[in-house]
Each structure stands twice: as C-alpha cells, then as structure tokens.
Structure 1
Amino acid sequence: MKIIVVGAGILGVSVTRSLAMAGAEVTVLDRWATGGGTTASTFAWVNANRKPGAEYFRLNTEGMSEHSRLAGVLPGPQAFRRSGSLHLADGLDEPDLTLNVERLRASGYPARWVGRDEARRLAGDVRIPAATTAIAHFPSEGHVLPGVLLDNLVADARRHGATLGVGEAVGVEDVTGGAVVTLADGTRHRADRVVLATGRWTRALAAGSGYDVPMTTEVRTGSSIVGLLGFVRSPAVDLRCVVHSRRLNLRPDGDGRSVVQALDLNRRVDPSAGASRAIAAEVEARFAELVDVPGPAEIDLRVSVRSMPADGMTMAGPVSDGSNIHVLVTHSGITLGPLLGRLVATELVTGTPDGSLDTFRPTRFAGPRPPAGELRGPARLGEQ
C-alpha cells in the first residue's frame, strides 16, 4: 500500500513511522523542515487533566501510556519525561481545582494534595507564591522535548523505509482507487491513501479541494487559538516538573532551559506583530517572581497558533464516507500524537476501523449544523 502523509509535525511524523513499521510504502511531505508548524510552539505537557467528555479523557490517558511505551522502544535521546505536574491554586482557583481533583480521582486518575515543602522538593528552583492556598500533584503526567521526539521519530521512520520530502501541498483529490496530492510547483503525487496532518492549515487545504473540515481558524488578537510561549535562555533553572500557577506556567526544556506561558496574556497578543515590549516585560517579571534563581531573565517570546477542530475534539478518519483522503487534526497533539499515529496507521493498513476513534470521525460534522460560536481559549489553572 502506498500512502502520502502531508505535514511533518508530531502527528504526521508519528503516523508516518507507524505506517512504515507496518510495511506501507509511505512518503511524508511538508513545506518546511519537520516540526516547523504548530509542533515548534507547544507547551508539550503530556496529560489528560482537563479533557472534557469520557471518550476524550480516555483517549488522552491512553496517549499518556503510549508515550511511556514509546520511550522504551524509540532509539535516540530520551524525549519523554514522566515528571509529574503541580498546580498552585490561590483562593480564587482553589474551588475549581478541588472539583477537578475530585473528578479525576473518581476516574482513577492519580491526583493528590501536597504541602509547600513537598511541592518545593518536587518542583526544584520554584518559589511557592505567598497567595497559594492549595497545591495538587499529578504524578502520572509529564512533558516531552518536542525537537528531540521529532528527531527520534523521523530517524526511526527512515530506518523502517519511510521517505521524507519537501513540498507545499496546494490540493488533494479523490480519484478512482486512490487519491492525488498536488504541490505548488504543479507536481502531482498519486497514492492509495492520503493523510492530511496539516494542523491549522487543514481546513484551507481541504476547502480548496471541496472538502469541509470545520475548524477554528481566525488568527487575530483575542482569538482562542492564539497564544504566547516564552523560551528561557537564561538563567538556568533546576525545574523538575511542569508547574501551573495563576500568573505563569513553567515546563522544563532540558539543560537548565525552561518554557513559560501566561494564559491571561494570550488575549493581548497581536499575532501579526508578536509580543509587545509591555507583554515581554510582564512575562519577565512573573518569571522572576516564581523562579528562585538570581539574574535577569532572557526570554525569547514566540506566538503560537493552536490547531483546533470546531468542537475542540480530535478528528481522525476519512473526510467523507468512502473517501481515500484521511484527516488527522487535534488540539492535544503532543499528548495524542504517538497514539493517534499508531491507531490511524493500523486502520489504513488493515482496512479495519478502530472503535476507539468512532467518536472522533470528521463525518460527525456531516449534515446541517447550527452556527458555532468560537471556543473559549485556555484561562483556568491547568488548561491548555
């Protein structure tokens, strides 16, 4: 079976590797180098913490397990770290955090309350804010180093015979017995199946070819899909787990580096201009407040744009009944990438649908739909 995967982010590379391992003749195409899209600007927290709905929660818990399994077999430096996460709540956040902990515990998800001293030992060079009234620890969660994970997946995909190519897909169409991808230079590539793993660009690519893939795509100030990440070059921080607080979230990034985000600042970001000096100064000040390391902060700020299906849920499957074109899009790309890659590859090679993905088929949007309002962006403690 010959398959073309369009998009070389975490989803595209994951499904490419799994397809190659299953014996398919697979080529992945991207306009940039691997990981040049959404994967390059992700907080990379592996979790099922605030995943609405039983099926989506289950899928994310399985995604967490898949990272642990993959870490044991994937060659290269370790990319997944089961570091756990801490949520530091103040008086405003505590009631909501308490409800979340109770809900997760009822589902069998590891969650416990810890005191300040234990939280400090778990976190490393982090000051527990004076306003903190409750601290929850989620020990089964973790994070990945996205660049390392992508490099490892690409190397393993190539080792199993996958081909990586550079090319901008501008069209895709069903043909008898297969599908065709058209590139910007006019080249047409035919395959038995095509997988669109093109993140936030999926809707436009599919629409140009007559397919409806409902997504939230408006990139503007205040949009729910626009966010901001800070990549801390210095000072070096002994950060041992993912930390969430009202004013700033922290994630280890290897070798003393860290990644930060301030959810309440997202709505002020102009995606066309990037972060203003005022926003940059605010991020630096919050970092200095939360991290117990001397020295001025050097933080590179990067605007991130999330891949968001219209209802917030993953899409995995053919664009329409009987189509040879499959879509793979999710908001939880880092947590779900390896799992979805394996499940979708198995479906394509065997021709047998996986029941665990039934809830997430793109065809759920078929037929008349009421106008959908824009999804709310992440704002509460522990949201992404």
Structure 2
Amino acid sequence: MTDERNIIVIGGGIIGASIAWHLVTAGAKVRLIAEKTGGVATPTSFAWINASWGNPEPYYRLRTRSMAEWTRLAAEVPGVNLAWSGGLCWDLPRDELLTYVREHARWGYDVRQISAEEAASIEPAIRDLPDLALHVRDEGSAEPVAATLALIESARAKGLEVLEGVTVAGLRATSGKITAVRTADGILAADAVVVASGVNTPVLAATLGIEVPIEAPPGLIVHSKPAPKMLNGLVIAPELHVRQTHEGRIIAGSDFGGSDPGGDPEGTARDLFAKLRTFLKGGEKLEMDFHTLGYRPTPKDGYPILGSADGVDGLYLAVTHSGVTLAPAIGRFATQEILTGEPEPLLAPYRLSRFA
C-alpha cells in the first residue's frame, strides 16, 4: 500500500513510535515530531504487559490482543526485547482474588491459584508469601525506552522523518479539515495528524476547540543499582509492585502506576526503597540509584481515547494510561483506520465521542 498523504505523528513515546512505525511499514509518508525521542511518560513506566484484574471483558480483549501483537512486533523489530516472565499476584483481598481468577480463566486468561509453597518455588527471593496467590504465565514486561527507540530507528530505515527537539504549539484546520501543525519553528503542512503526546494531548486538541478529558496523576518509581538476579518475573504484591530489568535493576512502585509522591518525593522514594529492601531476601544489599516521577495521561473514565475526532477530518487521537501494554495494537489499528477508513471493532468503546 502507498499513501501519498502527508501524515504527522506528534509524540516520541511508545504510542507515537508504534503508530509511526506501523504507518511507515504500511507505505505511508510520515514525520514524527518529538520534543524528546523516547517520550516523557514512557521512561517513567513500570512497563507491565498484562490483561490483569479490574478490566471489563471488552477491554480485556483489547489488552490480550495487544499482548499477542507484542510478540509479532518483537519478531519484526530488532531491539524490542520482551521478557515473558510471568506474574505473581496477591494485591487484592481474598474474595476479589478468587473472583478475578474465576472470571479471567473463563475468558481464557492463563491465570491460576497457587499455594505459598509453589509461589516460593517461582520467586524464592520473596521473604513472606501468602497462603493464596495467583500466577499468570504469559504476562511480561518491556524496557520501554529501548523499545521506543528501536521502533523509531526501524521506522527511520523505512523512511520515517524524525523532527526531534521540536515543540508543537497548536493545530490548524480549514473548513473542518486538518491542514497544518504549528511549531515553535514554523508551520508544517499536513493532510493527517496523529496526536499521541500524552498529557499534552488536551492542550493541542483545544487549539481546534476539541475537549479531551484526561487527568495526569503522578507516579513515583524507585530504581536500584544493577544487582545479581533476584526475581524471575513480575511481583504484584499489596502496596509493592516489583520487577527486575534486563540490566539487573530492581524497580518498584506502590502500584504499577507508581507511588503517590506526596509533598516530599525524595522522602517517598527513600521509604519505598526501604520497604523493597525488607521485601526481598538479600534486599539489604540493594543500593538505590534513582527514582522517576511521571505524570500518567489517564482519560477520566480510565479507558483509552482512540480514533478520529468528530468535526475535524484528518485528526486522530491516541491517549491512554496503559501505553506499554497497548502500544502494538494501537499502532496496528490506528494505521488501519487512518489509511483505509475501516473502523476496528476492538476500538469501538474508546472513541472521544463517548464523553459528548
């Protein structure tokens, strides 16, 4: 397929990179505008790839489809390294854990109850394990910045033009059709624009009179210095979500979105790291390296906003808190919708129009 339209993708994080890669791979002419390649929210992500508890079935279906798309993408793009390491979970009350395992197992998720003894065989470095935990074999993680940069570099080799260090000030439309992106350096003509700029999405959409209702709660994650292997997979425990990165760092937040930093982020980071050290056998040897503080672009009902914006032809919005899990599916489906006009049924519940 060859598409002669001039398409601009705004946003250098995992969502923008995935959309740009899929568009270029499909034969489109694309420019990616990024204040910073690698993104702003992406580097602060816990990067858990999952379809875990708390999701209605339509959202579960989108998430599991995207988990499958991650496997495809990793096979096609060098440097998109995944760890399908499995997840150990007990961060809900017992009755909710049992509801979660029954419901998701019925939907086809590979989740099962395990005893403390089996949990200890999976994660022997954890000090205190509960009598009841759940294990999901097929959950995993990505190193989000590395994956984002790998997508961008692969797309460059296919013809993507990257404008880095460019600040987008607004969008322009004429007679209900997108015509240009206004940057600090000048005007860039466009036949189609994808806004995947996280917490800045409402600001840009507002320049066309479009309201995008999102919140941006902060999340703090601590990172240890690289350490010998301690964890085999993801650990989703009450008030402590933990994993070990490809380079050996132990990272943790009070949930997968990170800890509430309160009024003293440095103090919150120290307290959280102290909890991490007592959580793991040998944890007293861990040394804290740094913490990240990110602002999660979260639509007000908690679910993604994906698709064309009513009233402005050529404008496509892509904003979600679950950026790492959903990036491959969003890239694939956004490309389908932009280039062919064929709507993707899995995205039907997530249009901006639901907030009208």
TM-score by length of structure 1 reads 0.85
Q: Does residue 67 of structure 2 align to residue 69 of structure 1? A: no
Q: Equivalent residue for 1:127?
A: 126
TM alignment of 1:57-96, pairs within 5 A? 57-76=60-79, 78-88=80-90, 93-96=93-96
Identity of matched residues, %? 30
Q: Which moved more, 1:334-343 or 1:258-267?
A: 258-267
CA–CA separation in structure 1 for the residues paired with 2:181 and 2:117: 57
Q: Which moved more, 1:172-181 or 1:335-344?
A: 172-181
Q: CA deviation at 1:14?
A: 0.2
How many residues get paired? 348
Q: Which moved more, 1:194-203 or 1:304-313?
A: 304-313
Q: CA deviation at 1:284?
A: 2.2
Listed as ranges, the gaps of 5+ residues in structure 2 are none
Q: Equivalent residue for 1:332?
A: 322
The amino acid of 1:286's aligned partner reads K
- Alpha carbons 2:220, 2:269 under 8 Å: kept: no
Q: CA deviation at 1:212?
A: 1.0
The amino acid of 1:246's aligned partner reads P
Listed as ranges, the gaps of 5+ residues in structure 1 are 218-224, 367-384
CA–CA separation in structure 1 for the residues paired with 2:96 and 2:63: 21
Q: Does residue 345 of structure 2 align to residue 355 of structure 1? A: yes
CA–CA separation in structure 2 for the residues paired with 1:174 and 1:123: 55
The amino acid of 1:97's aligned partner reads L
Q: Equivalent residue for 1:259?
A: 251
Q: Which moved more, 1:231-240 or 1:140-149?
A: 231-240
Q: Equivalent residue for 2:17?
A: 13
The amino acid of 1:344's aligned partner reads A
Q: Equivalent residue for 2:162?
A: 164
- Alpha carbons 2:49, 2:140 under 8 Å: kept: yes
SS of aligned partner of 2:76: coil
SS of aligned partner of 2:159: coil
Decide which of 45, 48, 51 is 1:48's aligned counterpart: 51
Instruction: Note the alpha carbon deviations across 1:111-149, whole angstroms, 9 max, x for none.
Output: 11223343233235x22415x231110111111111221
Q: Which moved more, 1:243-252 or 1:171-180?
A: 171-180
CA–CA separation in structure 2 for the residues paired with 1:352 and 1:72: 26
Q: Which moved more, 1:171-180 or 1:325-334?
A: 171-180
The amino acid of 2:70's aligned partner reads H
Q: Does residue 221 of structure 2 align to residue 206 of structure 1? A: no
TM-score by length of structure 2 reads 0.92
CA–CA separation in structure 2 for the residues paired with 1:259 and 1:209: 40
- Alpha carbons 1:213, 1:319 under 8 Å: kept: no
The amino acid of 2:123's aligned partner reads A
Residues 365, 247 of structure 1: alpha-carbon distance in 2 compared, 3 angstrom cutoff: closer
Q: CA deviation at 1:234?
A: 4.6
CA–CA separation in structure 2 for the residues paired with 1:365 and 1:351: 22
SS of aligned partner of 1:52: coil
The amino acid of 1:60's aligned partner reads R
CA–CA separation in structure 2 for the residues paired with 1:227 and 1:178: 34
- Alpha carbons 1:287, 1:297 under 8 Å: kept: no
